């Protein structure tokens, strides 16, 4: 585990983007697992800047998103499909047919989970998985539980998670109650995992996830078992690790 703490968000964003750009420069056909939410926005902005300056091309890259809401139209501004177009895909040279996001509107959600997992298997091992961290320790939408599912699956979102995401919606009632998410087993198979966490409100869960017991009640604690985990924190999020 390599934990890096930064004095500013700008430094953190640049470091995260440099890891991804460096991988793609070295391996133009890299397979990336991508996250959404507020955490990676600055990193994606830096990646777009790298592309516009001619430092990196994404023409041969393949991406798989961690998750997508169930029942939210892809055109909805808060769908993760819209998010990715707005913050990343719409500004790069990556072909649309190389970017994969679960279909939260599939008529058979279980079949969609199997299809998505098969797509990941066919693409080969993820070279890098980018992650954020939920207040309750969730990664992707893998919520705390007595047992965690390995592969892509449908999950009912915890109320705490829905409340945290309500800032993106008009009301809490507008936040979807379910999502499709990669399972922890799929995440842990990535060659490299980059966990990004910001803010004092995440300091306790960062400490628990990285130093506490490994337990499914804190899904992020399973990241301690990964052989190539890089953790990028701002000072506030890392304050309890000092």
How far apart, in whole angstroms, are the C-alpha atoms of residue 212 and residue 220?
10
List the structure tokens of 217. Answer: 């009640």
136 catalytically annotated:
yes
- Tell me which of 67, 68, 112, 127 is the catalytic residue: 67
159 catalytically annotated:
no
- Tell me which of 112, 117, 143, 234 is the catalytic residue: 143
SS (H, E, C) the chain: CEEEEECCHHHHHHHHHHHHHHHHHHCCCCEEEECCCCCCHHHHHHHHHHHHCCCCCCCCCEEEECEEECCCCCCCCCCHHHHHHHHCHHHCCCCHHHEECCCCCCCCHHHHHHHHHHHHHHHCCCCEEEECCCCCCCECCECCCCCCCCCCEEEECCHHHHHHHHHHCCCHHHCCCEEEECCHHHHHCCCCEEEEECCHHHHHHHHHHHHCCCECCEHHHHHHHCCCEEEEEECCCCHHHC
- Tell me which of 13, 117, 127, 138 is the catalytic residue: 138
How far apart, in whole angstroms, are the C-alpha atoms of residue 66 and residue 20?
16
Q: Is 220 within 8 Å of 204 (Cβ atoms)?
A: no
- Tell me which of 18, 78, 105, 136 is the catalytic residue: 136
Catalytic residue numbers?
A: 67, 136, 138, 143
């Amino acid at each position: 585990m390599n934990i890096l703490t930064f004095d500013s968000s700008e430094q953190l964003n640049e470091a995260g983007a440099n890891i991804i750009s460096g991988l793609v420069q070295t391996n133009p056909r890299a397979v990336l697992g991508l996250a959404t939410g507020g955490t990676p926005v600055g990193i994606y902005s830096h990646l777009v800047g790298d592309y516009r300056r001619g430092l990196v091309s994404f023409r041969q890259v393949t991406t798989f998103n961690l998750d997508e809401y169930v029942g939210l139209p892809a055109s909805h501004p808060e769908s993760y499909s819209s998010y990715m177009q707005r913050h990343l895909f719409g500004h790069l040279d990556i072909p649309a047919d190389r970017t994969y996001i679960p279909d939260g509107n599939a008529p058979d959600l279980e079949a969609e989970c199997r299809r998505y997992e098969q797509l990941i298997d066919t693409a080969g091992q993820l070279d890098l998985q980018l992650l954020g961290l939920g207040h309750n320790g969730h990664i992707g939408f893998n919520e705390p539980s007595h047992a965690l599912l390995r592969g892509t699956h449908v999950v009912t979102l915890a109320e705490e998670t829905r409340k945290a995401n309500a800032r993106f919606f008009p009301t809490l009632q507008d936040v979807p109650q379910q999502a499709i998410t990669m399972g922890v087993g799929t995440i842990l198979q990535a060659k490299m995992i980059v966990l990004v966490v910001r803010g004092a409100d995440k300091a306790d869960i960062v400490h628990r996830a990285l130093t506490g017991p490994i337990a499914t009640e804190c899904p992020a604690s399973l990241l301690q078992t990964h052989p190539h985990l890089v953790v990028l924190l701002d000072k506030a999020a890392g304050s309890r690790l000092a």
